[in-house]
Structure 1
Amino acid sequence: MEPPNILSSIPFKQSPLNPGELNLTHYCMSFLLSIPWNDISVTGFEYLAKKYRLDVFSDTSNPNEVLLSLAGKIILIDVIIPTHGTYRDIRIALAFADATGEQYKNTGAEEILLSAIHENNTTLLERNVALLAMLDRCSPSVQQSCFQYLETLKSTFSLIYTSRLNTQAFNDETEIIMSAEGKPLNDNDGNLGLQLAFWKHQDFLYTAKISMNELPSNSLPCALYGSNLVAETPLKTSGEVSWLPETTMTQIPATMELLFEDYHIVFPEFGVQSLLDFLQITDLDLSENFLPYKTLLNLPNQTTAGYPSMNKSHIIYLGGIDIPSRSVHRIPYSHPRQILGIFQYVRQYLTLQTIFENVKLSSTRITATASLRLNLIMKQYPVIHIQYQELNKLSNVDPVIANVSVLPNGIVQLNSIACGNTPINEDTALKIQKMLQKTLNIGLVLEFAIPKLFNNQ
């Protein structure tokens, strides 16, 4: 079952005869359209055009090739397919209409489309065609071209990133990725458009893709469209972005989105509602699309996690993980100024998610040497109550008890830690906090820290 997302109830229109009944025709059509495309041929490209609502024209006047033109209001994709060749012989041309009535080219985008064809990477090719078609449909006119707006967004976020990198407030790009608007990645890994790298854990870089979508509901925000978004000096002395007044922008009948395409982020109900309040939007059928946190993350109530390099293993008990939650794949917004706030929520719950995923069952034959109890409590921020005790020393060693908060931007804060009733000093607590922030692995940190910090070997 596909986990519900923040827009999960929108795609299926209601029956006009019975508003409470699902429109099965629309449902079946949506299902068919979700089937991946993998046919690089004349008929395959014709199908791809129809799938994404592009007009398609065929020219067979040359006996040696077929010219297919996939056209929208603004874009024109010419695909030249040799009659007796292979997909490696296909040529492509991409043109955009501008406000003067002329056309302009984007050779970089052409090369990306052609590379996907010649590599027979149909998944990437379809993803890029889908983005082009969506931006075309969301463009009210050539005077308000979403392609031009996307270029404005690219230059804006590149300017913000460069300005932050040149200030003394940030030591390196990792800090910007983890706490600011992210690092812009243009046409990243063959994906057309703009992605923002917003979180990094170990060697994995998490990215969100900026996209647009047709406005399907009055509950979602209209995109604010503008040719200029920030002042000439993009950062204020406070470090905030100097966005231009919204009065310089116009509304268009589309909504902007951050897409999290390759993974899902689990938000507790509390976090979903806080995010929607921040965006000042109302989700559809909010109460019907929640599943338990443990279900979405496939968490057991009890498990064993081992650390073979330390010859240690924990029996772990998880509590408070039955709270209603939701898997978020896309987040709509109206103005790019909201992206920083969105990332604060996303980083927070991605950090919480990673902490709990790090206690799943791991392969070990070592007998459990310690008991670790984690209990998730939702207050103003998620709080994890921790109780650790070595199993072979229950009679003479007090349990270690700690409380950890996960703050916006994914900041891990050790609120308190004590051995029994004896708190530890602040310097020691800060060392443990830094280890937690780096590893996001509570069991590993405790196994490493406790013998050194509490001298209870």
Structure 2
Amino acid sequence: MSTETDFMQQPHIFGRLTLRPNPLSAEKPNLNRLWIDSLLQIPWTNTTVQGLEDLAKRYRLDVFVDTSQEGKTVLSLAGKIILVDVTILKEDPTKVNQVALIFADASGEQHTDEDLERCLRDAILHENTSAFERNIAFLAAGDHSSPSVQQSAFLYLQQIYKAVFAVHEDECRRMKMNDALLYGHGVPVLNKNDILGLQLTYWESLHETFEAHLILDDMPPRGVRHVEYAEGPLLNPQQPFLPNGDPQWVSSTAAEDTLTATLVLLLRDHRSLWLPLQGIQALLDKLQLTDVFLPWPETLYGELLHLPSRFTSSCAPLDGNVDVTLEGHDIPARQVYRVPIAHPRQILPVLHILRQYLVLQLLLTNCAGPTATSECNTALRISLTFTPMPCLKVRYQWLGSQSAEDVVTFLLFVQENGHLLIDSLVRGLQSCTDNAKTALHTLLTRTHHIPLSLQTWSSR
């Protein structure tokens, strides 16, 4: 279980989401993300009144200072939805004494989030100024991205992750977790009506993938109106949760024969649900490739961006045991504005496959040799090269194993028509069977189109 320090050093759930006002508009590039990323490169350490005022201005929040209360100064960092009150005692003007967080809901009433407030408070009280700034930055990004109080992204997300958390707990009680290898991840999505929802993809076996969609089409302040599974039973849309918090499933004879949706999400803390937008996503953030969504004409990617340089980047482990390395073209932040809506179409599947490296982990776990004993102690190296066809070279091995039989490698090409071509699937010195190649190809083709970022569908 994660310690309090581990939780404090991690951003809140909102820190895993890339909130964008209009990511599909060529006239309006994603300056919000570039602005946040650029500011986070400049360390903030000044916890005085002046320092907190500077922090608020840095992220375009209004700031109000109240010195009327005896012995303390209260600073309010305010957006149109969020309000962060920071209290500093006058006897020690360099140290924050208390932090409070308030949201405005659709009716204008105040709404709190204990988890995020605790995250902010613990960070600043333990003098982890980088964690405090990171959370303020993402709060500001969410505030600026919300069109109005009536369409608050924060309230949408809170209802979504509470619903998924309840479903996950219920499924853990009903399933024998040691009977199958289970993975899952969450994808926040906006539908064509700009209603926020969550898409979940999970795997019960090597040959099967399932998707669940949680779309809150008219979200009330409390409760969930509509939760639907693409495969499996439905939650009762009138009363999805019983008074004790247990999910209430729609009774159906067909549902008895259907595999119930089972989600294994990364839970960093027993009070919080964390969407695993880590790992490869962090590398893609470094590459500034988070806004690639649309089909494009054929153009060489490197020529389009005028970026002849190459680089190798490593990412922090996902769960403490996974090592991921990505090689490819370096795209500096200052050149993000040069990335137009039209990209070379061949690279889209590659980027999405990189975001899906948990899929590769699952598949290669099934390909691993008999000496492998733990599905967590794994190492994965991914090399991305731009040839006439974008190519991924994947190398997988169990950590702690010195046996060549446990090393799995393969090449994955993306053809001009967008189809995937798998070559040289090898375990140790022996080629894997055609069935293993077919299973790998099937799962990749069924999942590579799912991005790990907040996106919208274009009506064009």
TM-score range, shorter chain: 0.3 to 0.5
TM-score by length of 1: 0.45
Rg (Cα) greater in structure = 1
Question: Quick check: which one's strand share is greater?
Answer: 1
